[in-house]
Structure 1
Amino acid sequence: MRARLRFAAVVLMASLALAGCGSGASNGSSADSKEAAAGEAAAGGAAKGPAPDSAHAGAQPPGGKGQQTAVPQTHVIRTAELHVEVKDATAALASVRTAVEGAGGHVADESTERIDDTQVTSRVVLRVPQDRYATLLTELAGTGKLLSRKADAKDVTGQVVDVESRIATQRASVARVRALMDRAEQLSDVVTLEGELSRRQAELESLLAQQASLKDRTTMATITLELSEPEKKEQAKTEDDPGFLDALSGGWNALVTTLRWIVVVLGAAAPFLLAFAVAYAVWRFLVRPRLRGRTARGPAPRKD
């Protein structure tokens, strides 16, 4: 009986000892965690001071609120058409050329025409950098009186990504065919692989050409500008209201024209008038006197 009591007392003392150790360890770990948290807070406060924002953002764990996601680059084709009325189309065209070349662009096409020796119209196609597109569009519209404006923006990001992916795939395909050609031993295999390589290289060059075209159109915007001069209203009014000299000149021209036509008509009728005059002379001087002589003598007397 006593042995059992002693054993129970030993177990109870051991349990109490273990509970006390666990409580001390728990308090110690809690204190350590509090000290660690205080240290981290102090370190975080120090990091907010002299350290840059990028370093602070990089210290945050992945997937947190401060993580910055990469924004895909957009590719846009921008085109515009402007029709502006200016006083002097030649001077305005020179000013436009200077502004475009100063912005890093160039004139791709130009057409100038003079209408009725009074008006000049110019049509130019301008290629300008995308970052200067809006500024130049506003500047060109303010060159004179804006008659019409049309702007268009087409997002081709998906097309650009697709072409880039197809180029990467096609390049890998060309590389594989070349590797097979290096290991080919039979002539028939070499000929077949050469034909396949030519076909895939042609497709790759076509894709590269599409990529270059997209890059040019997304890097440089296209602006079609038409410059025209206003109609000469004063000259039109002068022509509508003729003066005395205009009337005198018109009358003289009409007289000269009439005399010219009379001379032409007389020249055309001269042969007929000459023939008529000859016939009249024959009748007047030859035929008519004879007819009068016969009438004066009367009829001859009858003989019984």
Structure 2
Amino acid sequence: MHARRSVRPASALVGLLLAAALALTGCSADGGSSDTGDKAAGGDKAASGSAAGSGYRGDASAQDGGSAKSGGSAGSGGSAPGAKASAAPKLGTDHIVRTASLTVEVGDVAKALDAARTAVEHAGGYVGDETTTRDEEGHERTEVVLRVPAERYDGVLTALQGAGKLVERTSKAEDVTDQVVDVDSRIRSQRASVDRVRALMERADRIGDVVALEGELSRRESDLESLLGRQASLKDRTSLATITLSLSGTAAHRTAAADDAPGFGDAVAGGWHVFVTVVRWLALALGAVLPFAVVLAALVVAWRVARHRLPR
């Protein structure tokens, strides 16, 4: 009996302690849950704010992504020909300046010059400067500058050198592609620069600014005109080749000299000319001596007459 009584109070005490522990645990759980709820609420607010911000950024990102995709698709659509071009590159146009100089001996300079003019005109070119000289012996020489399309250059050159005996030929080819590209790029930049200055002039409201901008515009337009002139010069030199043709009548002159070699008739004519010249000089000498001879003869006659009359 005593054992049972002692066990019951102990069991009751343990029960009270467990109840108190459970009560304390419940209070702490409520406080912890309230703290956790507050933290969760704050976290939800922050998340909602960040979600709102991220939603704006997300929309922007989506738009950027969409534009990037569309740009990428457009780029891929545009790069497909580029890929084909890289696979089979298309050669660009080369800008070549072609010049040549020909010296040809011909039998008839005038006839050969007419033939050269005809060949150049049929090729779509034109005749430039022309100079003709003739020396004291009648030797004629003509120098003419011919401009022909670049694609007909070789054919015209072959035709010209076949007009007679080729004495000298020189030809040059200069690649000016880099110069053409550089000038074109500078012209585009200069035009954009001129447009910017004009836009500034339209917004200028002070006299000093207008005067300064007018001076700058004039300078830039002058530079643009210079570049345009250089572009035109390069276009002319690359589209038309230049051939300097020298025609000489040396062969004809030599033939004429051979035909003029002296013969028998020339010798007779030369001898007669010498005879006439000698007779002429003798006549002149006789004419000069005749007065003295007449006076001397008269003196001789007078001396003889006087000698016969003198007493012996």
TM-score between both structures, scaled by the size of structure 1: 0.62
Flag the 1:225–1:276 CA change in 2: closer, same or farther, 3 A: same
Flag the 1:85–1:274 CA change in 2: closer, same or farther, 3 A: closer
Q: Secondary structure at the match of 1:122?
A: strand
RMSD: 3.6
Query: Partner amino acid for 1:199?
Result: R
Deviation of residue 259 (structure 1)?
5.0
Q: Which moved more, 1:98-107 or 1:63-72?
A: 63-72
2:196 is aligned, of 176, 198, 218, to 176
User: 2: distance between equivalents of 1:72 and 1:221?
Assistant: 20
**Residue number in structure 1 paired with 2:257:** 236
**1:60–1:66 CA contact under 8 A, matched in 2:** no
Q: Secondary structure at the match of 1:71?
A: coil
Flag the 1:168–1:276 CA change in 2: closer, same or farther, 3 A: same
Deviation of residue 262 (structure 1)?
5.7
Gaps of 5+ in 1: 1-57, 297-304
1:90 is aligned, of 102, 105, 110, to 110
User: 2: distance between equivalents of 1:136 and 1:61?
Assistant: 40
Tell me the alpha carbon deviations over residues 247-303 of structure 1, each in whole angstroms, 9 at most, x when there is no partner: 232233334444555666778x78xx9799989989x979xx9xxx9xx9xxxxxxx
Flag the 1:258–1:127 CA change in 2: closer, same or farther, 3 A: same
- Establish whether residue 111 from structure 1 lines up as the match of residue 131 from structure 2: yes
| Structure with the bigger percentage of helix | 2
**Residue number in structure 2 paired with 1:132:** 152
Deviation of residue 85 (structure 1)?
2.3
Deviation of residue 231 (structure 1)?
3.6
Query: Partner amino acid for 1:124?
Result: V
**1:111–1:123 CA contact under 8 A, matched in 2:** yes
Tell me the alpha carbon deviations over residues 30-78 of structure 1, each in whole angstroms, 9 at most, x when there is no partner: xxxxxxxxxxxxxxxxxxxxxxxxxxxx997864797333433210000
2:235 is aligned, of 203, 215, 221, to 215
User: 1: distance between equivalents of 2:149 and 2:269?
Assistant: 59
Flag the 1:173–1:276 CA change in 2: closer, same or farther, 3 A: farther
User: 2: distance between equivalents of 1:116 and 1:109?
Assistant: 24
Q: Secondary structure at the match of 1:246?
A: helix
TM-score between both structures, scaled by the size of structure 2: 0.61
Query: Partner amino acid for 2:162?
Result: G
Q: Secondary structure at the match of 1:81?
A: strand
Query: Partner amino acid for 2:190?
Result: Q
Within 5 Å, give how 1:245-284 maps onto structure 2. 245-258=265-278, 260-261=280-281
State the aligned residue count: 232
**1:60–1:67 CA contact under 8 A, matched in 2:** no
**Residue number in structure 2 paired with 1:69:** 89
Identity between Structure 1 and Structure 2 (%): 50
Flag the 1:278–1:141 CA change in 2: closer, same or farther, 3 A: closer
**Residue number in structure 2 paired with 1:197:** 217
Flag the 1:61–1:236 CA change in 2: closer, same or farther, 3 A: closer
2:165 is aligned, of 118, 141, 145, to 145
Deviation of residue 242 (structure 1)?
3.4
Gaps of 5+ in 2: 1-77
**1:96–1:140 CA contact under 8 A, matched in 2:** yes
Flag the 1:203–1:262 CA change in 2: closer, same or farther, 3 A: farther
User: 1: distance between equivalents of 2:246 and 2:234?
Assistant: 26
User: 2: distance between equivalents of 1:67 and 1:256?
Assistant: 96
